[in-house]
Amino acid sequence: MTNRLNTRFSELSAYNRAGFVAYMMAGDGDSQALLNALPAAGADVIELGMPFTDPMADGPAIQASALRALEAGMTLKGTLAQAAAFRKHDKDTPIVLMGYANPIHHMGWEAFAKAAAKAGVDGLICVDVPPEEDDELRAALGKYSIALIRLATPTTDDKRLATVVANTSGFVYYVSTTGVTGAGSGAVTEVGEAVARVQRASGLPVAVGFGVKEPEQAAAIARTADAVVVGSAIVDAMHAGGVAGAQELVKRLSSAVHAARR
């Protein structure tokens, strides 16, 4: 499967540079403006959150963001519409949808995959569907060349890791702390060892996230990981300072990530 994700990670590898993955919530504030602004601020890949009423893997910041988005009327179809609007002027930056199975299943796996592909989506992280239960979803996504990105954690042993990375595409998302998003970062040396293990098992780029907030922290992770994901901090910056506040944070974080290996 070749799509914008493969192309982007190949480009980053050629420059010996880690990527910066920016997470934002569709429908929270002026989210279309933020989505459109992220590439110029330094985002190599965008994770677009699909708001859901019970985001069990997310911490307070993203839970609150999802609630604000839902109260503002954002839906899964609305999220796809934002991706489509972005794609009209940006043909290169990969978009990965991140969220939960319920809204997708309600739309239908096949209908969702078709609509996501039409909107220019490149990947999906569906946090509450384990590998043992994702056959139908994976088949639908594969039909439309959309990557199914799975998560590995510090508690994922070698046997489980083999299951997780089988049929994974795009990249593997390594959760640097057990628990919920925004909870803090694991020791950088431990993260480096874990990244190497996941890279060996998967043959795919590894993006590290969950709890990354500061440029120094992001840069340290970027020295070994293929990409660094920041979510809660961007969501908080957007809520506190609007698009300009979120842009400024993304610029600082992405600059640190991009300079980490120089």
Positions annotated as catalytic residues are 47, 58
- Secondary structure E strands in 163-202: 172-175
Q: Which two tokens stand for residue 162?
A: 């083999």
Structure tokens, 206 = 């590894």
HSE-up (13 A, CA, CB side) for residue 214: 5
On whether the CB atoms of residues 173 and 152 are closer than 8 A, the answer is: yes
Q: Rounded to whole angstroms, how far apart are CA atoms 191 and 224? A: 8
- Which amino acid, residue 143? K
The owner of tokens 């020295």 is 223
Contact assessment for residue 69 and residue 19, using Cβ atoms and an 8 Å cutoff: no
Distance of CA 136 to the CA centre of its chain: 22
Strand, coil or helix: 115: helix
Beta strand segments in the chain, E? 19-25, 45-49, 95-99, 123-126, 147-148, 151-152, 172-175, 206-209, 227-230
**Could you tell me what percentage of the chain is helix, strand and coil, using 3-state DSSP and rounding each to the nearest 5?**
50, 15, 35
Distance of CA 74 to the CA centre of its chain: 19
Residue 76 structure tokens: 């899964």
Q: Residue 239's CB: how many other CB atoms inside 10 A?
A: 17
